[in-house]
Copies of this chain bind each other. A is one copy, B any other.
Amino acid sequence: MTDPAPAAAPPAGEAPSKNALKKAQKEKEKAEKKAAAKARELELRQKQQAAASEDTSKDSYGELPLTGSKEFKPTNAARIDLEDIKKQEDKEITFRCWVENARPQGAKLAFLVLRQGLSTVQAVVAAGETISKQMVKFAQNLSTESTLVVTGTVKRAPEPVKGATIKDFEVHITKLFVEAKADVLPLQVDDAERPLPVEGAGEEEKASDGRPLVGLNTRLNNRTLDLRAKINHAIFVIKGGVCALFQEFLGQKGFTLVQTPKILGAASEGGANVFELNYFGKPAYLAQSPQFYKQMLICSRFQKVMEIGPVFRAENSNTARHLTEFTGLDLEMEFSEHYHEVMRVLEDLMLFIFRELNARYKKETDLVRSVYNVEDFKLPSSGNVPRIPFTEGIAMLRAAGEQLGDYDDLTTPQEKLLGKLVLEKYGSDFYVLDQFPLAIRPAYTMPSPHDPKLSNSYDMFMRGQEICSGAQRIHDAELLAEMMRKHDPPIDPNGAGTKDYVDSFRYGAPPHGGAGFGLERVVQFWLGLPNIRMCSLFPRDPQRVVP
């Protein structure tokens, strides 16, 4: 059977049956129909081709094939950063961007707002000698968020452009290619630019302009679209900036950047609030902080160490300032005589970060704060960070009508109130509370030499909310073991997760102290944002581990 007969033909040597004849007839009709369809298709294609040949700009727009890196044409130099558009007046430029919106104005004009990074520019596609009506139509129908490669001439705008960040210039498009087309969006990026509804008001709350405000859950469920919003770009540029500034300041002071393990063989800092995992059939735990390890490195004579890394807390706290996974900015250092040497480094570090955020990330800071009408972050004009003894903090709160004991921990509302009182008294949104009660601090905290019920420990606050906890640590193994046994609840200094730690202080450990900052909180309170989840790219809380 090298040359099979058509299926409809009767088998050789047999008379055709009635059924077979009917079948043949049907097949014939089918074939005729097919031929007619083909003819129509051909005619249509010819018409289209004719139309296309009339399309004077048919090579200047369209959808590009998938970029598969077939040819390397080193034309990058020609690609322009929109931030530099001022230098390009009257020049033709090429740049990648995405469609913020596209709107028609009659058949001969399309207005586009094109975005790249935090910049948006108005672009015009106007029918004329080199631009066909087809091309204008193509531009008018571009789907929001599609990725483009655009070529055009930079022109001074006749009047300041509304609705784009670049006010003085616009682009007169000559070429317009879609690199990647966007499907229908489950979340409008424009909605993600607007503030969250106020907590408790539900997803239905509307803004003053009558448009609905999209709730946090909807945003987080569509996080990769949500993150496209300029406000979110700004938040995470600032967050990366805080990390860079942290390292810049401490690096200059001789701190070594370290990585301590996140998987621990035993739950070292108490068994509560720790995630357990299966480590080759045995239980292991996620680090709740780098505390023990950064101190062990001080015992290893590293003198000054810093770490930026994830911190895991299996705490069932569903608040606007708790995450189950956050980024810890940690440091630990030797000091010579007094733990206030460490506190001074911490204060100077934060002042440096705040000042440089104002200097280097002003655009991003202003952008975010403007959406939430947040006031500037006030730094003490004297340059001295208010350093308030815990007992004085208590006194200030009592004077303001709060009732609390000398050694009570502050509640969150009390912390916020104290923040207000400090701001009134010292004119600073940043301050330190020093000499906390010993009983409410971890067992490794050095007791105060002045009052055994207090300790050489401190918290730092931004806008009345805690961002940092720190202390002088006990550097003597015997005292440490004693304080662990006396702690409530007691900790076994010979336990699986504690023995190596306690023993590390037996071989000549220097006096030292340190602190851990919650990076997301620093960003949240710098910007005055209502929810810490906004400061984590893909936040984790007791209810959320996706996306």
Binding site for B on A (CB under 8 A): 66-73, 75-76, 79, 96, 98-99, 115, 117, 143, 145-147, 179-183, 185, 223-225, 227-228, 232-233, 236-237, 239-240, 243-244, 247, 251, 256-266, 275-280, 282, 284, 286, 293, 296-297, 299-303, 308-310, 312, 314, 316, 324-325, 327, 334, 336-341, 446-450, 456, 472, 475-476, 479, 496, 500-501, 503-504, 506-511, 519, 536-538, 540, 542, 545-547
State the number of copies, please: 2
Question: What distance in Å separates the Cβ of A522 from its nearest Cβ neighbour in chain B?
Answer: 13
Distance (whole angstroms) from the CB of A182 to the closest CB of chain B = 4
In the complex, what residues of B have CB within 8 A of residue A341's CB?
76
Q: Are A240 and B265 in contact (CB under 8 A)?
A: no
Closest to A310 in B: B262
Q: How far is the CA of A308 from the CA of B307 in the complex (A)?
A: 11
With A69-B337, A277-B275, A303-B117 in contact, do A508 and B180 touch (Cβ < 8 Å)? Answer: yes
Contacts of A263 in B (CB 8 A): 275, 312, 324-325, 540, 545
A361 to chain B, nearest CB (A): 12
A179 x B500 contact (CB < 8 A): no
Interface pair A446/B69, CB less than 8 Å apart: yes
Expressed in whole angstroms, the Cα–Cα distance for A233 and B298 within the complex equals: 12
CA distance A280 to B334 in the complex (A): 38
Contacts A147-B508, A147-B509 hold; do A336 and B96 have CB atoms under 8 A apart? yes
Name the residue among A182, A258, A277, A446 with the largest chain B CB count within 10 angstroms.
A277
Flag if B257 contacts A243 (CB, 8 Å). yes
Q: Does A286 lie within 8 Å of B293, measured CB to CB?
A: no
Nearest chain B CB to A292 CB, angstrom units:
9
List the B side residues contacting A476 at CB < 8 Å. Answer: 66, 180
Partner of A546, one of B183, B228, B265, B300: B265
